[in-house]
């Protein structure tokens, strides 16, 4: 039994999720006898019912015709498993306001890992009461349980069926066994066949499984019952898979009164960044991507993301990056909880820190790149460096702004234009003799008479990348002194008109 890392897991079960979701879509169904139907083996069968239907004698699994005979006023809707799952996912995302470790569990329920967070809400009972109250405000009926392991919480939730069941922490294995002894066998999360066979042997509670020999159980029923039992008692670990990736660093602040003003948001953001940067400093890391999540009173969330080009853990620059995007956050009816999480971090040693704090070239330029990148996109900021290629459009590589600048030298001696069109523009050109530069070319309907020209310069691309005909480049100057870079694609062949393009403009 793992004692060094005591966990507390909460399981929230929505037994009426299907019908409550339907009522949320069509409020007039609230007072009716409602069932969700699906087709099973050629017949329409009830898959889920609401409370009124249950009290009226309808059960999941009944044939629709029989159900209508019992309750003539029955309202039916087809089961939509995808929508139900999406609703559960939304609830899991909403539950991340309590803890980032919120994940889906079997049977329309959620697992929340609340180890270490309960004290923020004033204790486990207060946390459960707060959570259940909010969920009831959304029109749902939750039942919850808190225990040491996910298996125990799941079992306790369905065994006790209360709004908040809290099992005290297990001191030892015998303690755990005593606590779970009386729970009925279906609360162990077994598959239908295994459950039927075990019940047919007369085993009805978890306690009945304890004295049985493990080897015998495994031989008869495969690994499932033993594994589930071990998970519930805490003998083996059962991790929760969270709905959203859990960030390595997170700071969270809950407000007494919902925030509606921008000043309130800014104050909250500063507090969060202070805490986050302190935790980053402790682990010698800097953040590259940060997300601010604001949880509103009505259950919706607003998120703002910023990125940096170099790891950072200083409050002021990060605050400035967020401040520009704070206008996008609409407080709505008020923001109750704010969190800032660093989704991507990189190592940042104190030695690098001193150089940054000196406040000279490095820090200022990095901050400028961050601000330009967050506004226009980091992909648009580049430091052009030479690449070994003859094709003009491939001769420049757009490197990241902080890559080392001691790269190769640009090839000297060749005249290249100042502006290169991203896509060469087709023009009409006339050359009297093949291989001679053109004497006239027409672009956008305007004719340019060539006064002087240089060339040809034959440039070919790498044959292993793309097999293209070679290009003959000419630098031509028109009568006003403007210089253009034209090329003719392909060689002169019989019956083929060569194509001319404008590729660049010189200074």
Partner 1 sequence: MPGTTNSSAVAVLRDRIRRIEGVGQAAGHPVLPLGMTPVDRALPEGGLPLAGVHEVRGDGAATGFCAALLARLHAMDGRPVLWLERGNDLYMPGLTRCGLKPGAVLTVSGISRDADMLWAIEEALNCGALSAVVGEIRAADFTASRRLQLAAETGGVTCLLLGETERGGAATALSRWQVTSMPSLPDGAGVGWPCWRVELVRCRGGHLAAWTVVWGPKGWTAITEAGGMETLPTDIRVAG
At 222 the three-state DSSP class reads: coil
Listed ranges 118-126, 235-243, 344-352, 360-368: which one lies at the site for partner 1 (CB under 8 A): 360-368
DSSP per position, 427-452: EEEE-SSTTSPPSEEEETTEEEEEEE
Question: Per rule CB under 8 A, is residue 455 in the interface with partner 1?
Answer: yes
Query: Which residues, in sequence order, are CB contacts of 295 under 8 Å at separation 6+?
Result: 94, 97, 301, 335, 336, 337, 338, 339
Q: Nearest approach, Cβ of 357 to partner 1 (angstroms)?
A: 14
When binding is defined by CB under 8 A, the residue of 123, 239, 384, 434 that contacts partner 1 is: 384
Question: Per rule CB under 8 A, is residue 385 in the interface with partner 1?
Answer: yes
Question: Per rule CB under 8 A, is residue 217 in the interface with partner 1?
Answer: no
When binding is defined by CB under 8 A, the residue of 57, 61, 139, 360 that contacts partner 1 is: 360
Question: Per rule CB under 8 A, is residue 254 in the interface with partner 1?
Answer: no
Nearest-angstrom CA–CA distance, 231 and 213: 17
Residues near partner 1 (CB under 8 A), total: 58
Q: Nearest approach, Cβ of 438 to partner 1 (angstroms)?
A: 13
When binding is defined by CB under 8 A, the residue of 235, 246, 381, 427 that contacts partner 1 is: 381
Q: Nearest approach, Cβ of 374 to partner 1 (angstroms)?
A: 11
Question: Per rule CB under 8 A, is residue 507 in the interface with partner 1?
Answer: yes
The beta-strand segments (E) located in 41-129 are 43-49, 75-78, 102-105, 109-113
Span 468-487, contacts to partner 1 by CB under 8 A: 475-477, 479-483
Nearest CB to partner 1, comparing residues 324 and 346: 324
Question: Per rule CB under 8 A, is residue 371 in the interface with partner 1?
Answer: yes
Q: Could you count the other beta carbons within 10 Å of the beta carbon of residue 463?
A: 8
366-381 as b/e: b if 16+ CB within 10 A: bbebbbebbeeebeeb
Question: Per rule CB under 8 A, is residue 327 in the interface with partner 1?
Answer: no
Total number of residues shown for the chain: 507
Nearest-angstrom CA–CA distance, 240 and 110: 10
Nearest-angstrom CA–CA distance, 452 and 473: 14
**Residue 391 to residues 227, 422, 429, 430, 465: CA-CA distances in angstroms?**
64, 13, 21, 24, 11
When binding is defined by CB under 8 A, the residue of 27, 42, 361, 495 that contacts partner 1 is: 361
Listed ranges 33-41, 49-57, 192-200, 410-418: which one lies at the site for partner 1 (CB under 8 A): 410-418
When binding is defined by CB under 8 A, the residue of 106, 346, 415, 436 that contacts partner 1 is: 415
Q: Could you count the other beta carbons within 10 Å of the beta carbon of residue 207?
A: 15
Listed ranges 34-42, 196-204, 297-305, 391-399: which one lies at the site for partner 1 (CB under 8 A): 391-399
Cis peptide leading into 456, omega within 30 of 0?
Answer: yes
When binding is defined by CB under 8 A, the residue of 196, 376, 436, 465 that contacts partner 1 is: 376
For 48-72, the three-class secondary structure string (H helix, E strand, C coil) is: EECHHHHHCCCCCCCEHHHHHHHCC
Question: Per rule CB under 8 A, is residue 488 in the interface with partner 1?
Answer: no
When binding is defined by CB under 8 A, the residue of 419, 442, 449, 458 that contacts partner 1 is: 419
Listed ranges 84-92, 128-136, 336-344, 361-369: which one lies at the site for partner 1 (CB under 8 A): 361-369
Q: Identify the residue whose tokens are 């050109």.
A: 429
Question: Which residues lie near partner 1 (CB under 8 A)?
Answer: 360-365, 367-369, 371-372, 375-376, 380-386, 392, 395-396, 401, 405-412, 414-422, 451-455, 475-477, 479-483, 504-507
């Amino acid at each position: 039994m793992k004692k060094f890392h005591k966990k507390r897991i909460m399981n929230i079960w929505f037994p009426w999720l299907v019908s409550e979701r339907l009522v949320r879509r069509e409020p007039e169904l609230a007072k009716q006898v409602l069932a969700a139907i699906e087709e099973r083996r050629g017949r329409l069968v009830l898959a889920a019912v609401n409370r009124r239907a249950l009290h009226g004698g309808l059960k999941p699994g009944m044939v629709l015709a029989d159900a209508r005979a019992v309750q003539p006023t029955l309202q039916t809707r087809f089961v939509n498993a995808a929508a139900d799952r999406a609703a559960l996912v939304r609830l899991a995302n909403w539950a991340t306001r309590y803890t980032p470790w919120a994940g889906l569990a079997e049977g329309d329920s959620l697992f929340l890992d609340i180890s270490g967070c309960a004290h923020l809400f004033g204790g486990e009972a207060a946390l459960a009461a707060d959570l259940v109250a909010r969920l009831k405000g959304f029109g749902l009926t939750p039942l919850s349980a808190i225990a040491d392991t996910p298996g125990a919480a799941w079992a306790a939730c369905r065994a006790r069926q209360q709004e908040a069941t809290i099992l005290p922490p297990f001191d030892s294995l015998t303690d755990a066994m005593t606590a779970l002894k009386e729970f009925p066998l279906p609360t162990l999360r077994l598959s239908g066949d295994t459950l039927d066979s075990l019940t047919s042997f007369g085993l009805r509670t978890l306690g009945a499984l304890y004295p049985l020999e493990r080897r015998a159980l495994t031989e008869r029923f495969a690994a499932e019952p033993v594994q589930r039992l071990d998970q519930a008692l805490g003998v083996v670990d059962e991790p929760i898979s969270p709905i959203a990736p859990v960030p390595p660093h997170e700071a969270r602040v809950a407000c007494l009164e919902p925030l509606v003003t921008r000043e309130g948001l800014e104050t909250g953001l500063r507090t969060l960044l202070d805490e986050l940067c302190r935790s980053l400093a402790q682990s010698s890391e800097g953040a590259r991507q940060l997300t601010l999540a604001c949880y509103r009173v009505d259950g919706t969330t607003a998120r703002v993301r910023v990125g940096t080009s170099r790891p950072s853990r200083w409050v002021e620059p990060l605050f400035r990056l967020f401040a520009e995007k704070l206008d996008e956050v609409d407080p709505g009816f008020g923001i109750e909880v704010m969190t800032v999480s660093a989704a991507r971090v990189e190592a940042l040693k104190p030695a690098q820190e001193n150089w940054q704090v000196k406040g000279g070239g490095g820090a200022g330029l990095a901050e400028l790149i961050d601000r330009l990148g967050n506004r226009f996109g980091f992909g648009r900021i580049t430091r052009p460096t030479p690449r070994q290629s003859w094709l003009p459009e491939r001769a420049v590589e757009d490197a990241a702004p902080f890559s080392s600048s001691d790269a190769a030298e640009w090839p000297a001696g060749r005249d290249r234009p100042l502006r290169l069109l991203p896509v060469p523009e087709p023009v009409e050109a006339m050359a009297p003799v093949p291989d001679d530069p053109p004497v006239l070319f027409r672009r956008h309907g305007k004719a340019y008479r060539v006064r002087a020209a240089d060339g040809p310069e034959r440039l070919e691309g790498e044959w292993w990348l793309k097999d293209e005909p070679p290009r003959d480049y000419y630098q031509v100057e028109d009568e006003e002194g403007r210089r253009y870079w034209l090329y003719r694609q392909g060689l002169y062949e019989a019956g083929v008109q060569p194509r001319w393009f404008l590729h660049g403009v010189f200074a």
